[in-house]
Amino acid sequence: MSLLFSPLSLRDITVRNRLWVAPMCQYSAEDGLPNDWHHVHLAQFASGGAGLVVAEATAVVPEGRISPRDTGLWSDAHRDAWRPIVDAIHARGALAGVQLAHAGRKASTWWPFSDRHGSVPAGEGGWTTLAPSAIAYEGYAEPVALDRDGIAALIEAFRAAARRALDAGFDVLEVHAAHGYLLHEFLSPLSNQRTDEWGGSLENRARIVLDIVRAMRAEAGEAVPVLVRFSASDAAPGGLEPDDVARVARWALDAGADLFDISSAGLVAHQQLSVGPGYQVPFAARIREVGEVPVAAVGIITSGAQAEQILQDGDADAIFAAREWLRDPHFGLRAATELGEDPESLWPPQYLRAHRPARQAAAAAR
């Protein structure tokens, strides 16, 4: 069996394979509530052979949304709206995760397919944004620096959202500490210029991430995996580097996290990053090696052979893909066929007519 289609156990769950769907914002919610679009969007990946389907960055408070069209989990109504979506993922054989998030100074922005850019004005549905320090993202409105009470309330909001996620049936929780959003803003010296216990040293800048991991672990108990998504590098002078993030990942592992989803950049508009196939895999490999922690790799991974090689090389323990799932919601089935795997149980029975001829053709070719 290939590594890609071997199961992976995290705490009390076992994921059927290691080809997973990364969280991808759809900017299609109203008042934070997921709807039919999210239901079809996420369930199709389970039909397509994914092991784990992680729902998009989901705000723990209304002002934590990237845009007014982002999903949330700040009320029981949101919990109830997510439940049938989770059930649909489970019915198709995959596990369901959710990425809990706060967009910080990059909140209250127009969605990508709007004809407008930058911050949404308050009179048009926007709001005042929050950050570790009152430093704006280039081109966006200046945020308000969180005080100690605000930080305490934020940690509690992550805990409460984790509870609702579990009650909705999610199997895996992920903390979003990447892409220039609030927790990444705390981690990076480029956006965190505080002089209290939440700023200065790497230990202090990481404090809020670790406190959130501990709060979510306490809520989830010992059975449910908690993942953390990190940007391994700010790709800008004076910013975070992979060895910094490896240290934080190790601390987070000790605080109760189980696996780290390694991406990069997003903090500043002047970042310099070379993008190409598998461009973030070296970041994942470095954090896995230095931090001695399990990781998932992501970033222009588009074939079963490429994903399998990443695992065979020991650069990651699992694979997250994003745009390839959008191009082909059956990426998992295609990758399995490409690797010569024959996990008939991966295929929905309604699709077996497509699977069997492919299997016969592969056998004839051998």
What pLDDT does residue 156 have? 98
pLDDT in tens, 68-100: 999 999 999 999 999 999 999 999 999 999 999
Is the Cα dihedral 300, 338, 282, 7 positive or negative?
A: positive
DSSP 199: S
Element (H, E) at 45: helix 36-47
What pLDDT does residue 345 have? 83
* Per-domain residue ranges of the chain: 8-365
Distance CA 114, CA 350 (A): 37
What pLDDT does residue 358 have? 58
Domain 8-365: CATH superfamily, name plus number: Aldolase class I (3.20.20.70)
Distance CA 78, CA 64 (A): 15
Do the Cβ atoms of 128 and 144 come closer than 8 Å? yes
Distance CA 38, CA 139 (A): 30
DSSP string, 295-356: EEE-SS--SHHHHHHHHHTTS-SEEEESHHHHH-TTHHHHHHHHTT---GGGS-GGGHHHHH
Distance CA 187, CA 177 (A): 8
Nearest in space to 184 (alpha carbons), one of 214, 229, 235: 229
137 is catalytic: no
- 46's CB contacts (< 8 A; 6+ apart) are 53, 88, 89, 90, 91, 92, 93, 94
What pLDDT does residue 361 have? 59
Distance CA 78, CA 165 (A): 9
**Along the 366 residues of the chain, how does pLDDT read in single tens digits?**
899 999 999 999 999 999 999 999 999 999 999 999 999 999 999 999 999 999 999 999 999 999 999 999 999 999 999 999 999 999 999 999 999 999 999 999 999 999 999 999 999 999 999 999 999 999 999 999 999 999 999 999 999 999 999 999 999 999 999 999 999 999 999 999 999 999 999 999 999 999 999 999 999 999 999 999 999 999 999 999 999 999 999 999 999 999 999 999 999 999 999 999 999 999 999 999 999 999 999 999 999 999 999 999 999 999 999 999 999 999 999 999 999 987 788 999 999 888 866 566 555 555
What pLDDT does residue 342 have? 75
Beta-bridged to residue 197, according to DSSP, are none
pLDDT in tens, 195-254: 999 999 999 999 999 999 999 999 999 999 999 999 999 999 999 999 999 999 999 999
Is the Cα dihedral 290, 296, 297, 299 positive or negative?
A: negative
Distance CA 247, CA 280 (A): 18
Residue that has been written with the tokens 């399998």 in this structure:
308
* DSSP H helices in 92-196: 148-168, 182-187
Is the Cα dihedral 224, 217, 104, 266 positive or negative?
A: negative
Q: Identify the active-site residue in 27, 137, 140, 181.
A: 181
What pLDDT does residue 365 have? 56
In the numeric block, which tokens belong to residue 267?
């903090």
Distance CA 47, CA 53 (A): 11
What pLDDT does residue 353 have? 86
